[in-house]
Structure 1
Amino acid sequence: MSDEMKIEDYLAQGGKLTTPANAPARYRAELMKIMAIFVDSELAGAAGFADIINEGPGIKERIAAARIVLEKTDHAEKVLRLMGEFGADTARYANHHPWRDRLSRDTAPGTRRSAHDMRLSVLNYPLQGWSDAVVMNLCMGLGVCVQLQELTRISYQPLSQAIREILPREQRHAELAEEGIARLLETGARADVETSLAYWQPRVAAMFGDAEPERMAQLKTWGLRRQDGADLRAEWQQRLDATLARLGLG
C-alpha cells in the first residue's frame, strides 16, 4: 500500500494532518480551495463594508462597521498565511483581485462571477445604504458562523485552530448586526429592514451549495466536510428565525 493510501486511511479514521508535507495531492487541492474561498470571502466582505462605514448614523455604528472591516481583513490574513505554506503567493494576493466588484443588484440569487476570485456567491451583490448593510450582516453573519463551526472540525489542524480563534469574532459581528437592527426598528425603519430581509435571505441561503455526491463523499472521508450543504442551510435558517423572532420580525 502506498504512503498516500496509508494517509488516506488515517484520515478516514478521523486522523489529523499538521503540515503540508503530509497532505496527499488531491487533499491538498481541496484544502487550498476551502482556504481560498474563506480568504476571498473575508476580503470581499471587508471591501463591501469599508464602503459603507461613513453611512453609519452615529459614531457607535461607524465603529462597529470599521471593526468588522478590520477583523475580516485580519481573519483573511491568518488563513492566507496557511495558504502560503502550500505555496500561495501571499505577497500579491491582497491586490490581485477586484474585491469591491459586484454584480447588478437584481442578479438572481446564487449567481457567481466567472472569474477573478472564489468568494461566496452572496458577496457578489451590492449593499444599498446603511440599513441594507446591517441586515446583510445579520443574515450573512449567522451563515458564516454555521460554516465556520463546520471548519473547526476540519482534518487539517492548523486551519481548524485558526478557525477556532476566528469564530468568536465572527459571532460578535452577527451580534452587532442584531443590535443594529434593533436600533433601526426603534427609529421606524421596519419597512426598510423587511425589504432588505426579503432580498438577502435567499441570497445567503444559496451559498450553502453541495458538491457533487461523489466529491462530497470524498471530502467527508478526508475529514474536510462533515455536514451536507442542506444540513448547514437548515441550521442557519433556524438561527436566523430565532434571531428575527427576538427582534419582533418573525
Structure 2
Amino acid sequence: MSEEMTLDAYLAAGGILSNPTNVPPRYRAELMKLMATFVDSELAGSAGFADIVNEAPGLKERIAAARIVLEKAANADRVLAVMSEFSVDADRYATHHPWTARLARDADIGATRGDHDMRLAVFNYPLQGWTDAVVMNLLMGRAVAVQLAEFSLVSYQPLAETFRAIAPIEAHHAELAEEGLRKLLETGDGTKLQMSVDYWWPRVGQSFGVGQSQRFETLRAYGLRRTSNAELRERWTGETRAKLTDLGLQVP
C-alpha cells in the first residue's frame, strides 16, 4: 500500500490484510461478525447432528454422521484460531453458548438470529430423525459450498486461506448426505424425504440473508464480500434444484 493511498481505498482496490494490527475498527467488527457466524453455525450444526448419530440405519451411516460431527467442530476450531489473534478466548468460546438449543419445530423466525449466539437462523430448528437430518445436511451442505466459495476470497488473508482449507471438507459432507439420501430413496421412503425437503428448503434459503443491503456495500468496499445475497441464493437454488430433480424430489 502506497503512503498516499488510504486503507479504505486500498481495500476497495482489492488489497489484502494479513495482520490484526493493520485492521481498522469497523473492518475488524465486520470480520469478527463473519467469523462468529461461521463458528457458531458450525458448532450448533455439529451439536445438533451429534444427537442423530445413533439413529443412523447402519454402521457406515453412523461413521459418516460421526465424521461430520467431528469435522464441523474442527472447522469451527480452525476459524476460532484466526479469531484468537484478535484476543478472543477460544477455549472459553466453545463452552460459552448452548449449542444444542433449538426452537419448536413449527417456529418461523425467518433469517432472524437468536439471542444466545450468532448461528444462522436455520440452526435454531431441530432435526427429526435420520431422514430429516440427511435432507437438511444435503440442502445446507450445498448452501455452505456456495457461501465458502465467496468467503474464500475475503481480503483478510489468514481467514481466506482457512476457508479454502475448509471448503473441500464441507463439500464432502454434502456428498455424504447425497449418498445417504440415495440409499433412503432405494427403500421407498420418498414421501417422507419430500416432506423434509418442503420443511428445510425455505429455511436453508433464508440463510443467505436479504437480497441487498447497505451493509453489503460496506462489506464489498472492505473486500469481505463480492457477490450479493440474492445472487448467492440464486446459485444455490439452481444447483440444488437440479440435484433434487435428479434424485426424483421436488422443490417446494
Deviation at 1:114, TM superposition (A): 3.5
1:221–1:211 distance in 2 versus 1, CA, 3 Å: farther
Q: 1:45 is matched with which residue?
A: 45
Deviation at 1:112, TM superposition (A): 3.4
* Cα distance in 2 between the residues matched to 1:212 and 1:249: 30
For 1:80, give the aligned amino acid: L
| Preserved CA contact (<8 Å) 1:210 1:216 | no
Residues 119-154 of structure 1 show CA distances to partners (whole Å, capped at 9, x for unaligned) of 001000000000000000011000011111100110
Q: 2:184 is matched with which residue?
A: 184
Q: Which structure 1 segments of 5+ residues have no match?
A: none
Range moving further from structure 2, 51-60 or 236-245: 236-245
Deviation at 1:109, TM superposition (A): 5.2
**Secondary structure of 1:206's aligned partner:** helix
* Cα distance in 1 between the residues matched to 2:48 and 2:147: 20
Q: 1:218 is matched with which residue?
A: 218
For 2:35, give the aligned amino acid: M
**Secondary structure of 2:30's aligned partner:** helix
| Preserved CA contact (<8 Å) 1:105 1:125 | yes
Moved over 4 A (4+): none
| Preserved CA contact (<8 Å) 1:178 1:243 | no
* Cα distance in 2 between the residues matched to 1:187 and 1:25: 55
Q: 2:238 is matched with which residue?
A: 238
Deviation at 1:89, TM superposition (A): 1.4
**Secondary structure of 1:153's aligned partner:** coil
* Cα distance in 2 between the residues matched to 1:80 and 1:165: 14
Identity of aligned residues (%): 58
| Preserved CA contact (<8 Å) 1:135 1:196 | yes
Range moving further from structure 2, 108-117 or 44-53: 108-117
Q: Which structure 2 segments of 5+ residues have no match?
A: none
1:182–1:109 distance in 2 versus 1, CA, 3 Å: farther
Residues 49-69 of structure 1 show CA distances to partners (whole Å, capped at 9, x for unaligned) of 100000000001101100100
| Pairing of 1:153-168 with structure 2 (within 5 A) | 153-168=153-168
For 1:149, give the aligned amino acid: A
The number of equivalent residue pairs is 248
Residues 37-57 of structure 1 show CA distances to partners (whole Å, capped at 9, x for unaligned) of 000000000001100000000
| Preserved CA contact (<8 Å) 1:75 1:166 | yes
